[in-house]
Amino acid sequence: MLEKLKNVFSTFVKKSLTEKKIDEAINDLRILLISNDVAIDTADEICKSIIESFKGQQITRLTSTKKMLFDTLKEVMIEILTPEKEIDIIKEIKTKKSLGLPYVFVFFGINGTGKTTTIAKVANFLKESNISSVAAASDTFRAGAIEQLTKHMNNVGINVIKHGYKSDPASVAYDAIEHAKAKEIDVVLVDTSGRQTTNRNLMLEMQKICRVTNPDLKIFIGDSLAGNDVLYQAREFDRHVGIDANILTKLDADAKGGAALSISFETKKPILFIGTGIGYDDLEPFDRDIFLSNILDIN
């Protein structure tokens, strides 16, 4: 995991640069970043920052380009991975609970990202933190979606509020919130349809769900293996309904690491969790420092 991105940075930092070779080296870095799932805009920003760091500095044999490049890379990565606002979901849930109201999550993402499984993982994470939850089966479009959510939630001991297929998704979410209020349940987890972001009706449906539920947190679930597609998906969901936070799935597979950089750069919102396996316990809070250590472990 992340070895490919780590090798990109390691190779670049170890280059013996001269003033004439800077442009060539930067161009090589840009190509390597893009080939390792870093979005073009993000790769350009990284390269631009490195070029800026060299302005006004004379590169000689005595210059420690290795240290200079490492320090610059680290600063750029920290800036990219630092969101506009940090989110402590446990603290926020408890604050909402003190007001006698459930905390509402709405999850977005296309089919195939592991969205439903991830929602169950989040429910399990909350349960382990002594936080109760109920799920809303608001994907009333895809055949089998309600049964799939119910199966996963049964496995982690969480109830599901559901209507029939073709019913109004916003109505399902509303009923789940009312159920949570009546039963003094801490959190409502709203599943939504995973159709493509180009589907206008889907986006209108998402907007209605958000109007009806007034969610505390709108979470985009993206597939780490999707390359630049995950960036496009996040951009479209953010444009239509707004994103407060992200979860990246399948980071345990052959993910190159670029998705985390790209999604952070594009949305300026925090990555709350990363999926690291198929089990319900395989969900880890995203740790920026550990991620940086992994990709910048340059010896």
Per-residue pLDDT of the chain (299 residues; tens, 9 = 90+): 456 676 767 776 666 555 566 777 788 888 888 877 788 888 888 888 877 776 655 555 445 566 777 777 788 888 889 998 999 999 999 999 999 999 999 999 988 888 999 999 999 999 999 999 999 999 998 889 999 999 999 999 999 999 999 999 999 999 999 999 999 999 999 999 886 666 788 889 999 999 999 999 999 999 888 777 888 888 889 988 999 999 999 877 655 668 888 888 888 999 999 998 889 999 999 998 888 887 776 54
Pure H helices in 193-256: 200-213, 228-240
**What is the per-residue DSSP string for 7-32?**
HHHHHHHT----GGGHHHHHHHHHHH
Domains 3-81 and 89-287 belong to one CATH topology: no
Tell me how far apart the alpha carbons of residues 229 and 209 are, in angstroms, rounded to a whole number: 24
Structure confidence at residue 233 (pLDDT): 87
Is residue 275 within 8 A of residue 1, CB to CB? The reply is: no
Structure confidence at residue 62 (pLDDT): 41
CA neighbor of 206 nearest in space, from 222, 223, 221, 218: 218
CATH no., domain 89-287: 3.40.50.300
H/E stretch holding 128: helix 115-128
Q: Which CATH architecture best describes the domain 3-81?
A: Up-down Bundle (1.20)
Structure confidence at residue 97 (pLDDT): 95
Parse the chain into domains and list their residue ranges. 3-81, 89-287
Structure confidence at residue 203 (pLDDT): 86
155 phi/psi in degrees, rounded to 5? -65, -25
